Chain A
């Protein structure tokens, strides 16, 4: 019962973090702040993915066999208490690709700043409409 409530609490925290970061992406005027909000959203989604693979038992183990010469006892203890390795494997690549995409966005932001002298989205829109440069 208590663990069920805790699971719901973690879900609520993660979804709220994601929701607030979506607010940041939509409502912030500065492009750099938009990128920061996007990375927070990325992290929240990754954490949800890892959390789904968690195992609700007293002492869960990481998905790594403790020795490279296991006997039957170590092996059965491992398979009965290891957490799900699949979300972790998907998330480790997602993190790196998220960083690469963030680099690309930062690149675009630098180019925009070079061209317009500001990273404010509204200001850039005004400059484009006004036909300056």
Chain B
């Protein structure tokens, strides 16, 4: 088995190549529901036409960023359920920690981690990553980015610190499981509040701007000279909190587990 390719492996590889050739044939016939062409599909064209249509604001989202306006306006329910999937994955991972999440992290670990060069470099780079992630999250309604992208890039910073220094350094910095879970809950509550506020005004759930058949006037797009982008900025900030804190929870729990600190029960 070790070394060269066995007969069954060769069979699987040739099957994979044959299958991909067949798939290319069907993709060329339009079997994937679409095909890169000079025009885009109708629903995509509708969103591109309407996302920042300042001339006819009936169906606009108030954001020049079409991707973010799909995520939090046109297909908001998709995003809510995807947040639920993320929540379930993190919960499932936490349930595997023996003794629960109240793992003790006291214990020395003074001279842990790699060499001084790696330690200093990972500290500097993690600062840069944090700034970049905040930029992605806060400006996600006018430039590429958003809560998901910002949150998952923020999670790089603690991961880098864990790898370069140690998980105890992270805990000394103030990253605690309980705090991370609290901030995650705050983000989820914020998402619920922002998405259900229009219901008080007889509007739709996850409504962003004024729509036909709804009394809700819409979240403010401009505040004096400031451009706010409706509800998208609040959604992005809260989603950033949820995603980044969920990744921090999972990283801390994973590395505590790795050290055998996960539970003494």
Contacts and interface: CB of A to CB of B under 8 A. Distances in A.
Interface of A: 7-8, 11-12, 15-16, 18-20, 22-23, 26-27, 48, 51-57, 62-70, 72, 75, 78-79, 82-86, 88-90, 92-93, 95-97, 99-101, 103-104, 106-108, 110-111, 114
A52 B85 contact: no
Given A83-B40, A85-B47, A88-B67, A72 B55 contact: yes
B254 A70 contact: no
Contact of B44 (A53, A75, A95): A53
Interface string B244-265: 0011001101100110000000
Contact of B152 (A48, A65, A95): A95
Contact of A64 (B53, B79, B144): B144
Interface residues of B, number: 70
Contact of B67 (A12, A89, A97, A108): A89
Nearest to A29: B1
B56 to A, nearest CB: 10
A103 B142 contact: no
Contacts of B28: 7-8, 11
A19 to B, nearest CB: 3
A78 to B, nearest CB: 7
A26 B54 CA distance: 52
A20 B247 CA distance: 29
Nearest to A18: B20
29 contacts: A7-B35, A11-B23, A15-B20, A16-B16, A19-B17, A19-B20, A20-B13, A23-B13, A27-B8, A52-B32, A52-B35, A53-B40, A53-B44, A56-B38, A64-B144, A68-B64, A79-B45, A84-B48, A86-B43, A95-B148, A96-B149, A100-B86, A100-B246, A100-B247, A100-B250, A104-B92, A106-B254, A107-B96, A110-B258
Contacts of B49: 79
Main secondary structure on chain A at its contact with chain B? helix
Query: Would you list the 10 A-B pairs with minimal beta carbon distance, nearest first?
Result: A19-B16, A65-B64, A15-B20, A85-B66, A63-B66, A84-B44, A89-B70, A100-B89, A84-B40, A54-B36
A132 B146 CA distance: 49
A16 B17 contact: yes
Main secondary structure on chain B at its contact with chain A? helix
Contacts of A82: 40, 48, 66
Nearest to B13: A23
Interface string B29-67: 000111111111101110111011111000000001111
Contacts of A85: 44, 47-48, 51, 66-67, 70
Interface in B208-263: 227, 243, 246-247, 250-251, 253-254, 257-258
A103 B87 CA distance: 12
Contact of A92 (B34, B85, B149): B149
A104 B38 CA distance: 41
Given A7-B36, A65-B65, 5 more contacts: A23-B12, A64-B67, A79-B48, A85-B48, A85-B70
